[in-house]
Structure 1
């Protein structure tokens, strides 16, 4: 299982073209001379490249390796995750994007200061930086580790090459280069997966035969309506828990919101969210079909016992190298597909980390920073995070198994997240050391980062967990829902105990009237109740503009429009009305 010269050439071509895109945008246009151009692509992007970049950002090598292995081992139940994509993208398009876009923010965490205070903003920023720094090291290291185990491809050469190339084009070309390399890398990912499916299905007698064989062996799953949240994958776990996971990724994550804000208008930003839906479904289908083809191929061409991979993160690579071994170039295409997933994810991490550091931690303390100095500092931050990523990749090599893992509300949510995550990790450590955990789950030895991140080896056994062990067995698909619910409930409780924020102190543009919009057919009296006892949004009350702040600047006429933004999108608030009594108008 070795690479040929053609395979190495295809892999090298991926790196060269990615670097070339970064150099092109470093030497064209305004040459990344302003913070706006470097961090937000000058707000000139159309919806299609933004949509493909949104898709690529979290379509990492972890997913490319993990999802087919999940289908191969446990069947197609995971496919129902696609049911969560509709609400998981409609809600960001119609609730999150309008609020973020009209506020003219650069960092997602600016919203937290506008809505709450600076302390909440800093907490959100620091949490994001901590999470992304760890994540990007793992995303860089894990696929290189799997590739090294299967093909002998030098581990640290792959890590250093990817890290340096990604740092180069992100630092030189800014967000515009990141978005267009994401587009290119998305096409490479689709081509690599499609090649494996076509060739693999042809080797076993066609896709119809693959499906029949999977049905015979019980790999085609029906709808499991078990509501138990401790079952790893059920319809409710995937379809409902998946919505919260999608909201955490496509609703509030800085890497994604930054792409929405790079669109030339709010309409283009919304269209990018719509366009991601079929793309996500296509990617999910390709990953699931890869798993089914891999299963059918293994039934007809089983590997020798000594040749079977020890970890499920190597299953896909063993299959690819075996099925494509007599087709020079195609193994290299799949490896390019694999590393495209890593490049797109970590380049987005570099750019978003530079953005939040600049906007949330640097600018507030140095408001008089000149544009050239701010731009240079943003580039140096991107470079610094790129080098830090290489360091985290080294740290990841020594971590062993890694699992998923308002101010008081945020801290409570983090505490719950760490409680569940660390509890699961400790329970898993016993298994990794040879002592089965109480629920019988057997995890792989240290170093299997990709498998653990993709949660492909958490197969339940007959011994049911009890007490806290049961709590630690909560399906990873419910983590986002569990933690966000904790944040909301604790935040509401503290607000009730300490008293609500006066309506006059709340920027009305930070509130989206969800319930009045959803229940617009109710009588006005009922809608007033939904607005905390105030007037409903549709009542005439002689609109009067109130002063609102945007990026620290008072604006008595509501939020200013960006170039290309349609009229009729502003919010005004009537004097004396509660904060949810918002009304659309045109300026």
Structure 2
């Protein structure tokens, strides 16, 4: 089995043809919708599809933007190395979707947001909006770099393509079709890529299961290797992975991705109504669960396949992230083309995430920085600036990839790069922990991997990466409350009720209960008057909820006189 991999090691001709065809098809779909949008050169169409996007493609786009190539490569590798406890990733991704469905979608439509950070200007001030938007833009750019780097690393293991050429190829393809076509192009290419991701992972899972002898053999191998640990409820915060830490960490991370990230909110605001946005949110859960489940299954099958000879230890691959593409070439030896389909599935996750990031980053730059300075900018000029900033984001993220590659190569990732990235984004902290030395080193047997004592880290560095975002959130809330108390808290009775979402505000609850959970904030006026819109059922189209030329809001625009909308949670 291993000898076969040694002899082959690279994708065959048909595999390369199929992989290239998937990239070409993605490029053609993007080009088609870019061509269709040439006559509608409005910014509303470019960023929101004129608020007429169908919910099912949007839901698929939201899912595959979240499930990047990092997840499709990293999650199987995590399962291969650390076991079935990763199943809790699925559980941790459901609750945030429910919170967004029930509470936050009505809030977005009520405030008619163009970027998620516009909320901070409405709630606080413009400086808060600009600082947060700048941090998110940097975060997106850095994360796109990681997203492209790992699949390019995996591709270099099974093709003659060098890692640098793979990076350039991916970045150029994403940048061209995203900049030319806008959101519609991104959504429809994501829809295509969701199918490629699903069927590629499914083909790998089926073939790997058959090769190792069925699910019973996989379960037995996991048991022998100590990886049947789905019910590991270890509460030690220094334990790398456990059910509790994954559940808490994933809920926090996914809630951010669903509720506070520009790519997701931008898609939700592209629907016709709250009803469609909620449908899109529920649709997005289906591919998230299926592809995550398949990824974990692929990692389990890979462990059973290489149980007695680790390709990393034998020097057949240089890094753990190359494991699945390397195995795909081996097991699909007798079925030409399927290895190419699987590698295409890995790359589809990258393309969807990067294209979404470029589109959303350019939207934030236009809305949060340029229009507040030049509110009189014409529609045509806004579109031109959007495309220029999109190209710039594509180039900058490509530079961040090369910096990342150099950091790993010269051994600076643990030192200076780690500290620099930690200051920029919790996400890069997670990537650092994903590549800890405890499994970057080569082992001769899996017994060493399971039972080798974990490396001790100083202070907070010893805490599992799964708690990073939760710790950051708790610190932010505590510091914010303390500063508010010290500087003088606002009177809740004078607050704008439109920016608050009570935990319980449905009419089925007694008024006393609803009053308690408003914590002093007055109730929001409801009713569809002359100038009011029912977002729950009305097709608001492109005329309502898009303020792409009106982002320079004076604070009076967001006073208690903000018009009420008939949206019941």
* TM-score when normalising by structure 1: 0.81
Structure 2: distance between partners of 1:342 and 1:402: 22
Map Cα deviations across residues 447-483 of structure 1 (whole Å, 9 max, x no partner). xxxxxxxxxx998954684xx8242222212222111
CA apart distance, 1:377? 1.3
CA apart distance, 1:243? 0.8
**Is the 8 Å Cα contact of residues 534 and 567 (structure 2) preserved in structure 1?**
no
Map Cα deviations across residues 353-382 of structure 1 (whole Å, 9 max, x no partner). 000000000111111111111112112211
**Is the 8 Å Cα contact of residues 38 and 173 (structure 1) preserved in structure 2?**
yes
More moved, 472-481 vs 244-253: 472-481
**Are 1:294 and 2:302 matched, yes or no?**
yes
CA apart distance, 1:529? 4.2
Structure 2: distance between partners of 1:330 and 1:480: 38
Change (3 A) 1:420 1:240: closer
Change (3 A) 1:255 1:584: closer
**Are 1:324 and 2:332 matched, yes or no?**
yes
Counterpart pick for 1:67 among 55, 68, 75 = 75
Please name the residue that 1:82 is paired with. Answer: 90
Counterpart pick for 1:247 among 255, 266, 269 = 255
Please name the residue that 1:352 is paired with. Answer: 360
Please name the residue that 2:539 is paired with. Answer: 564
CA apart distance, 1:301? 7.5
Name stretches of at least 5 consecutive residues in structure 1 with no aligned partner: 406-413, 433-440, 446-456, 546-554, 571-577
Please name the residue that 2:119 is paired with. Answer: 111
More moved, 224-233 vs 194-203: 224-233
Structure 1: distance between partners of 2:117 and 2:175: 24
Map Cα deviations across residues 238-289 of structure 1 (whole Å, 9 max, x no partner). 1222111111111111111111111121111111111222321111110111
Counterpart pick for 1:473 among 447, 456, 462 = 462
Counterpart pick for 2:379 among 371, 375, 378 = 371
Counterpart pick for 2:184 among 176, 187, 191 = 176
More moved, 211-220 vs 269-278: 211-220
Please name the residue that 2:403 is paired with. Answer: 395
**Is the 8 Å Cα contact of residues 57 and 345 (structure 1) preserved in structure 2?**
yes
**Is the 8 Å Cα contact of residues 319 and 440 (structure 2) preserved in structure 1?**
no
**Any idea what SS the aligned residue of 1:398 has?**
helix
**Is the 8 Å Cα contact of residues 417 and 483 (structure 1) preserved in structure 2?**
no
Counterpart pick for 1:166 among 158, 174, 190 = 174
Change (3 A) 1:504 1:64: same
Map Cα deviations across residues 494-513 of structure 1 (whole Å, 9 max, x no partner). 11111123557643221111
Please name the residue that 2:519 is paired with. Answer: 532
**Are 1:487 and 2:476 matched, yes or no?**
yes
**Are 1:497 and 2:486 matched, yes or no?**
yes
**Any idea what SS the aligned residue of 2:93 has?**
helix
**Any idea what SS the aligned residue of 1:399 has?**
helix
**Is the 8 Å Cα contact of residues 135 and 424 (structure 2) preserved in structure 1?**
no
CA apart distance, 1:329? 1.0
Please name the residue that 2:499 is paired with. Answer: 510
CA apart distance, 1:492? 1.1
More moved, 495-504 vs 88-97: 495-504
Change (3 A) 1:248 1:444: farther
**Any idea what SS the aligned residue of 2:458 has?**
helix
Map Cα deviations across residues 138-188 of structure 1 (whole Å, 9 max, x no partner). 222222123213443222222222111111110111100001101111111
**Are 1:130 and 2:138 matched, yes or no?**
yes
Change (3 A) 1:355 1:318: same
Change (3 A) 1:529 1:77: same
Map Cα deviations across residues 418-457 of structure 1 (whole Å, 9 max, x no partner). 798999999999x86xxxxxxxx56559xxxxxxxxxxx9
Change (3 A) 1:56 1:534: closer
CA apart distance, 1:309? 2.8
CA apart distance, 1:18? 1.5
**Is the 8 Å Cα contact of residues 32 and 173 (structure 1) preserved in structure 2?**
no
Structure 2: distance between partners of 1:392 and 1:586: 43
**Are 1:337 and 2:337 matched, yes or no?**
no
Change (3 A) 1:533 1:3: closer
Please name the residue that 2:205 is paired with. Answer: 197
Structure 2: distance between partners of 1:297 and 1:427: 26
Change (3 A) 1:17 1:80: same
CA apart distance, 1:342? 1.0
Structure 2: distance between partners of 1:262 and 1:299: 48
Change (3 A) 1:329 1:533: closer
More moved, 323-332 vs 70-79: 323-332
Change (3 A) 1:481 1:424: closer
Please name the residue that 1:261 is paired with. Answer: 269
Alignment of 1:204-243 (within 5 A): 204-243=212-251
CA apart distance, 1:584? 7.5
**Is the 8 Å Cα contact of residues 535 and 566 (structure 2) preserved in structure 1?**
no
Structure 1: distance between partners of 2:293 and 2:51: 32
Aligned residues: 530
Change (3 A) 1:507 1:289: same
Map Cα deviations across residues 77-123 of structure 1 (whole Å, 9 max, x no partner). 01112111221210111122111122111111111100110011011
Please name the residue that 1:47 is paired with. Answer: 55
Structure 2: distance between partners of 1:415 and 1:10: 36
Structure 2: distance between partners of 1:464 and 1:347: 37
Name stretches of at least 5 consecutive residues in structure 2 with no aligned partner: 1-8, 443-447, 546-558
**Any idea what SS the aligned residue of 2:292 has?**
helix
CA apart distance, 1:305? 5.5
**Is the 8 Å Cα contact of residues 420 and 471 (structure 1) preserved in structure 2?**
no
